[in-house]
Structure 1
């Protein structure tokens, strides 16, 4: 006879944990990518310095990342202050890691930050930076979820 394992255990072990971490990271990547791309495009189009462009991209990544978490939590009936707290707990580390990695990659790819919006280098480096950030952030989210932190905090509201 097999022993029944509670749902919460399934989410915090083995392949199920990895799948959950991948889904959480994909969710994070969606908000981060919207903000990151928007910030890079605005900064590049306006001819802002690399530092200002990166700050703009990071701020927008956090705004969009948190927004994608807050909206379903609000729809689940949670008040705004509590929803904001849940989003901060669920996404801050994931977004921060993703932003550090993708902006570091953009800076390290020669010429990427100075390439124009019509440049394949700009768009290729940006896509590559987000892919690298995703790969680096999955294990971070896996550890957080296993410990009941990160996306695990918001999991019950995403139905």
Structure 2
């Protein structure tokens, strides 16, 4: 789970900082964060793990994509609820990266995503679609 949220979170936070500085709409930011987080998780974290399991490149790409798809969806659901519903109600707007509110709510969003992804990752490991960290 830490591995999952680490990769996805790194991509999400990188995209969020850049896009907040550029000034796009919430939903443009959300989908771009999803794409960047997915790419980080899929091509850096998941792919590497499946290549280490003696999979060929095509098989590793597919297995990594399959694992990342479900993991990332659950992380972004948690992140999206916090950032679209909770943050505006508390702060009044999407805070810029140089504020405590940005880092606090982004961390809270990742925590919500991490909690949602635990059961998803458990199932993915149990059915053999994802590797465990043992």
| Same fold per superposition (TM over 0.5) | yes
Q: What's the TM-score, normalizing by structure 2?
A: 0.85
Residue 104 (1) aligns with residue 81 (2)? yes
Where do 4+ consecutive residues of structure 1 move more than 6 Å? none
Instruction: Label 1:135 to 1:29 Cα distance change in 2 as closer, same or farther (>3 A).
Output: same
Unaligned segments of structure 2, at least 5 residues: none
Q: Contact between 1:90 and 1:149, CA under 8 Å: does it hold in 2?
A: no
Residue pair 1:43, 1:49 contacting (<8 A) in 2 also: no
- Structure 1 counterpart of 2:109: 129
Cα deviation, 1:33-87, whole Å, max 9, x if unaligned, reads 0111011111101111111111110001100111211023224443221111110
Determine whether 1:80 maps to 2:60. no
Q: 1:116 aligns with which of 77, 96, 110?
A: 96
Listed one character per residue, the Cα deviations across residues 94-144 of structure 1 (whole Å, up to 9, x for unaligned) are 111111211221111224762111111111000011011111211222233
1:58 & 1:90 partners in 2: Cα distance?
15
Runs (5+) with no aligned partner, structure 1:
1-24
Larger Rg, first or second structure (1 or 2): 1
Q: How many residues align?
A: 130
69, 72, 88: which one aligns with 1:95: 72
Q: Which residue in the other structure is 1:16 paired with?
A: none
